[in-house]
Amino acid sequence: MQNIWLLIGTAVTLGFVHTVIGPDHYVPFIAIARARNWRLSKTMLVSALCGLGHVLSSVALGFLGVGLGVAIGHLEKVESTRGTIAAWLLIGFGLVYLVWGLRKAYRSKPHSHLHHHADGETHVHLHSHEEGHLHIHQDKGKENITPWVLFLIFVFGPCEPLIPLVMYPAAQHSVAGVIMVTAAFGLATILTMLTIIALSSWGLSFVKLGKLERYSHALAGGVIFVSGLTVQFLGL
C-alpha cells in the first residue's frame, strides 16, 4: 500500500504537469469557446468529455498491453505514434478552421450598394453576405460538428506518463491499485484542464475585439494551428 500511495502522488503530480505544459489540453477549447460564444457550462462539458476520452483511451491501451503481455517499451512506441497522429489532426483542424474563418470574415464584411428609384431618389444599402436564413443553418451545422472533432483529436491524444504508472500495480495483479492510480491521474488531468479553461474563458470575456470580432473564428483557427505545431515540433 505504501508503494501504491507513492504512485498515486506521482500520478497526481504528473497529471498536473502533463496538462499545464501541453497547450493542446486547453488552448483549442478556449479558442473555440471564445469564437463561438459558448456558455461556460457548455465549454466545461465539452472539455470534460474530451479529457475523459483522452485518459480512457490510454487506459484501454494499457489494459490491452497488460492482457497481451506487451512490453512497456512497445506500448510507449504506440503512444508516441498516437501523439503524432493527434498533433497532425490538431494542426489540420486549426488550418481548416483558420481558412474557414477568413472566408467567413470576408463574407461578413459590410459593403454598400447604390439604389436608384424611378422617382429619382437614391440611397445606399448596406449588407453582408453572411446575412440570411441559409447561412444561419450552415453555421449551426459547423457548430454541432466542432465538439466531435475536438473529441476525436483528444481520443487519439496519448497520456504518455500514465502507461508506466499503471504497469506496476498491473504487474502485481492489484486491480484496486490500477484503478486508484488511473483515477488519480485522470482527475488531476481533467481538473487542471477545466481550471485553466474556466479562468482563461472568464478573463477573455472582458476582452473586446471591436472591428476584429468578425475575425474571431480565423484567430481561433490560427491559435489552434500554432498550438498543434508546438506539440508536434517542440514536444510540448
pLDDT classification of 111: cutoffs 50, 70, 90: very low
Calculate what percentage of the chain has a pLDDT beyond 70. 79
Tell me if 46 is assigned to some domain.
yes
Say if 85 falls within a structural domain: no
Q: What is the mean pLDDT of residues 100-104?
A: 91
Instruction: Answer whether residue 22 is part of any domain.
Output: yes
pLDDT of residue 169: 75
Tell me what pLDDT residue 143 has.
55
Per-residue pLDDT, 131: 45
Q: Is residue 198 part of a domain?
A: yes
Tell me which residue range forms the domain holding 233. Answer: 1-80+168-205+226-236
Q: What was the pLDDT predicted at 132?
A: 43
Residue at 87 is within a domain: no
Residues 8-22: what's their mean pLDDT? 92
Residue-level pLDDT at 90? 95
34 within some domain: yes
What is the CA 235 to chain-centroid distance, rounded? Answer: 17
Answer yes or no: is 157 within a domain: no
20 within domain boundaries: yes
Domains: count for the chain: 1
